Structure 1
Amino acid sequence: MSEISADYVIVGAGSAGCVLANRLSADPNITVILMEAGGRDWNPWIHIPVGYFKTMHNPSVDWCYRTEPDPGLNGRALDWPRGKVLGGSSSLNGLLYVRGQPQDYDRWAQKGNPGWGWDEVLPLFKRSECQERGADEFHGDAGPLSVSNMRLQRPICDAWVAAAQEAGYPFNPDYNGATQEGVGYFQLTARKGRRCSSAVAFLNPVRKRENLTILTRAQASRVVFDGTRATGVAYRDRAGAEHVVTAGREVILSSGAIGSPHLLMLSGLGEAAHLKACGIEVLRDLPGVGGNMQDHLQARLVFKCNEPTLNDEVRSLYNQARIALKYAMFRAGPMAMAASLATGFMRTGPHVETPDIQFHVQPWSADSPGEGVHPFSAFTMSVCQLRPESRGKIRLAPDDPTGYPKIHPNYLSTETDCRTIVEGVRIARRIARHAPLDSKISEEFRPDASLDLDDYEGTLDWARNYSTTIYHPTGTCKMGPGGDAVVDARLRVHGITGLRVADCSIMPEIVSGNTNAPAIMIGEKAADMIREDHSAGARAT
């Protein structure tokens, strides 16, 4: 067993972890170790925006998690991709830059988390951002994270935006601006046609700092304690040998909504009865660890078209060569495409004050991004519920606690969630029947036209059979003051000294949109609080 040490040890080089490594190591008087279970982000597909077709479900860069069969999905189990590489899931995701609604963060603050309201977090979003359109009240242009417009347009997506307006939904040029509601086009985390992951934005510029050590192929196995103080992290290297990294000040878990609660439970922090049943010695009974899990469930509607879509463009070797050449020469075309082009944030009715569904519109269709496109002309209209009430959980596998945890999403387990997904599907089908989109659709493929628009039970059953994750697991190390919370408003684990969690697992409620931008903001916020708390402690002594 070998041992190295630093002031701060960060476990997980994902969206938040890379931010923390950057911001904390900016002080040359402190030392930082960043640990990552995966390897370097050398796979070239990581840096090509459309590369998620190649990296998702690839065990060299993806944890390849899979849920347990879920009753809300009629017993189906889902693949849950998570990044296992520098950059974490920001190296595999669809690049979509979405912050959520101001009300999301104000609710966090109202739940007993001071400092997390919209007025407090907006400056952190701006600090990270290098906005292609320039700085304004809502955006920054001097940060390391490049946010740019799409370098690709497709008529079918333009037709969807026009049809949605015909259906009564307003156009919104900036869903991260004054208001989220409306339809328009996504922005993406890319720089000159290349992915701007958290590793590219925050880690690459500072990796040569003498006070920053980056450990790859270092899979954490447990947090090391002296009593109830975290003093380091034990990990295994590629060969299986165990090492210990010692933290002089703090250990910070940034391993995501699956990895962080898993590591806490392996370290004796969690529901006592569950830990004992799995043979884990209990350090502190924290029943909230692994609970409160939330995800955005997407219903993916597919419509066949009477004109070519991206499905046709990528089918022949000749067209693939043309696409590759265009990207090589101009960093443009389909290879510069994010997961979706058009979007919409809408309300399912007057009973909600802010949008409760989100659309992702893609000029292609597939059963899964990693499985290739359908062999016919089609596009996808995906709709997800933004604020699900359903709560799932993560638990250790009793027969092998150190192996992959058991993931129980518990989708569509409340009446509100069922009603919202059904209405989202109905809105999608109604938009498809407005000009100019209606003239481009040759067939409703999934669901097909035999499903009546007013058939609630039939639509709900279709959603249970075909909906899938949109890759936004959150909430499993809930922030708050209550007995079901895991960390306080400063992200310190309750009842433990020297241990924080900083990633999407701390969300008390999932944000109303994609989660990468909020994860980066959480990293920024955590870095500020860690520096503030250390300065306050130093003054006190």
Structure 2
Amino acid sequence: MRLAEAGHSVCVLEAGPKDSSPYIHIPAGYIKNIFNPRLIWDFKSEPNPATGNRKLTLTQGRVLGGSGSINGMVYNRGQQADFDGWAERGNPGWRYEEVLPYFKKAETRIGVGDDRYRGRGGPLPVTDPVHSSPLCDLFIEAVKSLGYPHVPDHNAETQDGVGPWQFTIDSRGHIMRRMSAAQAYLRPAVKSGRVNVRTDSPAICVLLEGRRAVGVRYRAGGTGAPEREVRARHEVIVSAGALNTPRLLQISGIGPGEHLQAIGVDVIANLPGVGANLCDHYNLRVAAKVKSVTTINERGRGLPLLWEITKYFAGRPSILSMGPVPMRFFFRSDASLPTPDLQVSFTPGSYQEGLPGLLDHYPGMTLGGHKQRPESRGYVKAQSKNIDIDPVIQPNYLATESDQRAIVAVVKMARAVLQARPFAEHYVDEVFPGNDVRTDDEILDFARQRGGTVYHHNGTARMGPDSDPMAVVDARLRVRGVTGLRVADASVMPAPISGPTNASAIMIGEKAADMILQDAAQP
């Protein structure tokens, strides 16, 4: 949108379909979206002994709007220290005070907020959750009873404490609707006449003439469809996500030279960091049965669900207006730490086997948590130049002792919250992991067998200075060793942020557009 506003023409290639599914636009439809093979890249991880030798599902959005069209809509910028840390790694222009204007530029904060931190005129509406259950209020009181403060806006001065999540949901109309990047940015840009969108058009490779990117070769449809090319007058911008961006660069000849040769790709730029440094949040849920209160489990099936649907389309509060996790809590595993390193999210409902999908048949509530800045790192490697063959993905979860201790600490805190005095009237019993999982070793073993991703993949084309041999892009997001090529998505994050990646990925897009326009204005 920003490039079109400045008078530039843009061609957008989307591997998946248009965002026409009604479930995309209904907030609670995320539970359908993330299992819809038409809308996702259904990647699987490599087995790893640290996570029970399981092949974990690592979903990415494959639809107009990307993962922002299928995700849980949480809007969390992370901590100020995250971005200051990026700058300290040798990335000028990425300190918190320098990226804050782009967060604000992107956002229309609906509701109370400190305008020193919050935007009021951007394309992306950000709202508070629907008040869905008295259990949400009890969650806040339970955390407060343990000595932690109530912090109503975690996207302002500090994360510390308990309060509501915020969501990319537009509450200004008759009904509440998801607001993806496609809705917020792409729709207005297309109306300008300067943006051409081609859906069902997966990229095959970046076209290079020598060491200059000049366009993209793509397939106009499914397997066997004809290949076409689109040429760029100025630049090619890759925004394929932290699992697909490194694969696309690799099959284009940009990546670890030895690996590219092994899969039959001519090496254009030997960048060993392409596909390295994969980071993700490894999450574990704690669920309990409750009594004397209605939860999403009962409201989400049968006649009660029909009533919730009726309320939603009548413009009244409904579980269909909800994101998956209305409440959150940030805390420290060690009081000496300068900022919170752990988080838990609260849902007034529970899922069978602790995984999103089918609701339990009894009233339940869930806390899910993870370490905010994990140390474990994995990789993404293309197996073939054929885009129908998935890459090899090894997240390497729980590879460090620190990450292992953190997941145990999350479970202990979740249990403390659920068993705190404010929940006493409603708490029945823990069902997941269960009362037979007590010691640290038992908790860690359970985490290895039953934990999973929350789809916050990042870092696989990391930003860094010339002195960093694993850096893929510079501080202006330009791919090293290649002109006319940038990356603008979560793969450029040099270190993980303290939260989901969506808000920061949109900030990266805003800042990238500014840098592109600045560079285009140079002689």
**TM-score bracket for the superposition, by shorter chain length:** over 0.9
**Per-residue deviation, residues 473-493 of structure 1 (Å, max 9, x unmatched):** 000001002110100000000
Query: For the structure 1 residues 371 and 121, does the alpha-carbon distance in structure 2 shift closer, same or farther, using more than 3 Å as the test?
Result: same
**SS of match in other structure, 1:213:** strand
Match of 2:166 in 1: 187
Q: Which residue in 1 is equivalent to 2:203?
A: 220
2:316 and 2:377 mapped to 1: Cα distance? Answer: 41
Identify which of 498, 513, 519 aligns with 2:499: 513
Which of the numbers 452, 455, 459 marks the counterpart of 1:475?
459
Using the alignment, how far apart are the partners of 1:370 and 1:164 within structure 2?
24
In structure 1, C-alpha distance between the alignment counterparts of 2:240 and 2:393, rounded to whole Å: 16
Distance (whole Å) between structure 1 residues aligned to residue 118 and residue 186 of structure 2: 22
Paired position in structure 2 for 1:449: 435
Corresponding residue number in structure 1 for 2:319: 334
Q: Secondary structure at the match of 2:370?
A: strand
Give the secondary structure class of the aligned counterpart of 2:232. strand
Deviates more, 1:30-39 or 1:118-127: 30-39
Whether the 8 Å contact between 2:107 and 2:125 is mirrored in structure 1 is yes
Give the Cα–Cα distance (whole angstroms) in 1 for the partners of residues 385 and 239 of structure 2: 26
SS in structure 2 opposite 1:157? helix
Q: Give the CA RMSD over aligned residues.
A: 1.4
Q: Structure 1: which 5+ runs fail to align? A: 1-21
> Do the aligned partners of residues 402 and 153 (structure 1) sit closer, same or farther apart at CA in structure 2, a change above 3 Å counting?
closer
| SS in structure 2 of the partner of residue 184 of structure 1 | strand
Give the structure 1 partner of residue 508 of structure 2: 522
Partner of 1:388: 374
Per the alignment, residue 160 of structure 1 pairs with 139
The 5 Å alignment of 1:248-287 reads: 248-287=233-272
Deviations 1:362-390 (A, max 9, x none): 11111476632112211110011100000
Instruction: Please tell me whether the aligned partners of residues 487 and 501 of structure 1 are also in contact (alpha carbons under 8 angstroms).
Output: yes
Task: Give distance in 2, aligned partners of 1:401 and 1:250.
Answer: 23
Q: What is the CA distance between 1:70 and its match in structure 2? A: 2.3
Q: What is aligned with 1:12?
A: none
User: For 2:83, what is the secondary structure of its paired residue?
Assistant: helix
What does 1:16-415 align with in structure 2 at a 5 Å threshold? 22-28=1-7, 30-133=8-111, 136-192=115-171, 193-238=176-221, 240-307=225-292, 308-316=294-302, 318-330=303-315, 332-366=317-351, 367=353, 371-397=357-383, 403-415=389-401
Whether the aligned pair in 2 keeps the contact of 1:251 and 1:499 (CA below 8 Å) is yes
Structure 2 CA distance, aligned partners of 1:289 and 1:47? 34
Count of equivalent residues: 512
Identity over aligned pairs, percent: 42
Q: Report if the CA contact (8 A) 2:279-2:378 is conserved.
A: yes
Q: Secondary structure at the match of 2:447?
A: helix
| Residues in 2 aligned to 1:363 and 1:484: alpha-carbon distance in whole angstroms | 43
Residues 288, 217 of structure 1: alpha-carbon distance in 2 compared, 3 angstrom cutoff: same
- Following TM superposition, by how much is the alpha carbon of 1:159 offset from its aligned partner in structure 2, in angstroms? 1.3
| Contact 1:36–1:86, Cα closer than 8 Å, also in 2 | yes
Name the amino acid aligned to 1:131: R
SS in structure 2 of the partner of residue 34 of structure 1: strand
Gaps of 5+ in 2: none
Matched to 1:183, the amino acid is: V
Distance 1:471 1:350 in 2: 28
**Deviation of residue 91 (structure 1)?**
0.5
| CA displacement at 1:447 relative to structure 2 | 1.5
Q: What is the distance in 2 between the residues matched to 1:368 and 1:496?
A: 45
User: What is the distance in 2 between the residues matched to 1:387 and 1:52?
Assistant: 25
Q: Secondary structure at the match of 1:343?
A: strand
Separation (CA, whole Å) in 1 of partners of 2:443 and 2:424: 21
Aligned partners of 1:500, 1:107: CA distance in 2, in Å?
22
For residues 337 and 445 of structure 2, the distance between their equivalents in structure 1, rounded to whole angstroms, comes to: 24
2:448 corresponds to which residue? 464
Specify the alignment match of 1:13 in structure 2. none
Specify whether residues 294 and 275 from structure 1 end up closer, same or farther in structure 2 by C-alpha distance, changes over 3 A only: same
Q: Report the 3-state secondary structure (helix = DSSP H, G, I; strand = E; otherwise coil) of the residue aligned with 1:249.
A: coil
Letter in 2 for 1:136: D
CA contact (8 A) 2:215 2:231 kept: yes
Aligned-pair CA distance for 1:503: 0.2
Q: Helix, strand or coil for the counterpart of 2:231?
A: strand
Greater Cα shift, 431-440 or 137-146: 431-440
Question: Which residue number in structure 2 is paired with residue 429 of structure 1?
Answer: 415
Deviation at 1:399, TM superposition (A): 9.3
